[in-house]
């Protein structure tokens, strides 16, 4: 079974630009959540989608948004990039049939904002 | 709000020895999960071990075991017979027990070095 796939793995943007990151969950998983990882703030929850609906949202500005498609793939978008948005963005999926509580993570997308 | 604290930013251990990583958490919930995740240099976060709060028995996975003290809100990870492949960042994480609550609250992490 393929794991969680995130694209792109690395990207460089400049301030003011926008970026879209993609996440394909494990087949059959309907919940996708996103986390931002930085050296200073650690791992912080961004949002979670389940069956195309945002179910939970972290404490991030409105520049951070996401969506989920009918095939459970998810995208997150960051508009008007700031230097502080440089981070590793992790996507995680979870199956809902049996709630073991475990999240399965992708390898992340490393965003650098110049 | 729930918080998770890992007080050891870095730890090191000799190969084949035992090491314990500390984690404390704060919550007013009675139903929750606790996790230890490992993040090697390749960056993919991998689940090491999971503990349901309602279970009194400490979870064990091969060389990994936890000491779950619910009243003290403590959840430490013991790694026995440390191996070079255990070198990684280790994150303690908390999740509410409600099935719709998928948010993980992470500690700041402990970087574990294994000395050959």
Q: What is the pLDDT of residues A15-61, one digit of tens each?
A: 999 999 999 999 988 899 999 999 989 999 999 999 999 988 999 99
Phi, psi values for residue A64, rounded to 5° = -95, 120
Q: Would you say B39 and B89 are in contact if contact means Cβ atoms under 8 Å apart?
A: yes
With a cut of 60, say whether residue A98 has pLDDT above it.
no
CB count in 10 Å sphere of residue B89: 18
Tens of pLDDT, residue by residue, chain B (116 residues): 789 999 999 999 999 999 999 999 999 988 899 999 999 987 789 999 999 999 889 999 999 999 999 999 999 999 999 999 999 999 999 998 766 667 899 999 999 999 99
Of residues A1 and B28, more confidently modeled = B28
pLDDT of residue B67: 97
- Measured between beta carbons, the chain B residues lying within 8 angstroms of A107 are 42-44
Q: Would you say B103 and A45 are in contact if contact means Cβ atoms under 8 Å apart?
A: yes
- Pairing outcome for strands B10-14 and B110-115: parallel
Dihedral sign, Cα of residue B79, residue B85, residue B89, residue B94: negative
pLDDT of residue A2: 78
**Structure tokens, A105:** 């993570």
Q: Would you say A108 and A53 are in contact if contact means Cβ atoms under 8 Å apart?
A: no
**CB-CB under 8 Å, B106 with A108:** no
**Structure tokens, B1:** 């709000």
Q: Would you say A32 and A74 are in contact if contact means Cβ atoms under 8 Å apart?
A: yes
CB count in 10 Å sphere of residue A99: 15
Whether chain A has a CB inside 8 Å of the CB on B33: the answer is yes
**CB-CB under 8 Å, B102 with A94:** yes
Whether chain A has a CB inside 8 Å of the CB on B75: the answer is no
Residue A60, burial from CB neighbour count under 10 angstroms (0-12, 13-18, 19+): middle
B37-65, pLDDT tens digit by residue?
999 987 789 999 999 999 889 999 999 99
Q: Would you say A101 and A95 are in contact if contact means Cβ atoms under 8 Å apart?
A: no
With a cut of 80, say whether residue A95 has pLDDT above it.
no
Q: To the nearest whole number, what is the mean pLDDT of chain A?
A: 92
- Pairing outcome for strands B10-14 and B19-21: unpaired
Q: Please, which residues 78-107 of chain B have a Cβ atom closer than 8 Å to chain A?
A: 91, 95, 97, 99-107
With a cut of 80, say whether residue A101 has pLDDT above it.
no
Nearest one of A82, A107, A105 to A26, comparing CA atoms: A105
With a cut of 90, say whether residue A100 has pLDDT above it.
no
pLDDT of residue B108: 96
pLDDT of residue A99: 59
As a dihedral over the C-alpha atoms of residue A21, residue B34, residue B8, residue B114, rounded to 10 degrees, the angle is -80
pLDDT of residue B99: 63
% of chain A residues with pLDDT over 90: 81
């Amino acid at each position: 079974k393929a794991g969680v796939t995130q694209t792109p793995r690395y990207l460089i943007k400049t301030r003011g630009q926008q970026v879209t990151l993609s996440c394909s969950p494990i087949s059959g998983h309907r919940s996708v959540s996103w986390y931002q990882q930085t050296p200073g703030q650690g791992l912080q929850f961004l949002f979670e989608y389940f069956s195309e609906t945002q179910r939970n949202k972290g404490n991030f500005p409105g520049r951070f948004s996401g969506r989920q498609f009918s095939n459970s793939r998810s995208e997150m978008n960051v508009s008007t990039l700031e230097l502080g948005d440089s981070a590793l963005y992790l996507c995680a999926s979870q199956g809902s049939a049996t709630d073991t509580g475990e999240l399965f993570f992708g390898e992340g997308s490393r965003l650098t904002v110049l | 709000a729930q918080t998770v604290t890992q007080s050891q930013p870095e730890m090191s251990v000799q190969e084949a020895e035992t090491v314990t990583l500390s984690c404390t958490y704060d919550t007013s919930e009675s139903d929750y999960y606790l996790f230890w995740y490992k993040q090697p240099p390749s960056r993919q976060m991998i689940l090491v071990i999971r503990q349901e709060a309602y279970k009194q028995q400490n979870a064990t996975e091969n060389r990994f075991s936890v000491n779950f003290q619910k009243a003290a809100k403590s959840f430490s990870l013991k790694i026995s017979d440390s191996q070079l492949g255990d070198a990684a960042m280790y994150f303690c994480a908390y999740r509410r027990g409600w099935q719709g609550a998928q948010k993980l609250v992470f500690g700041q992490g402990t970087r574990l070095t294994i000395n050959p």
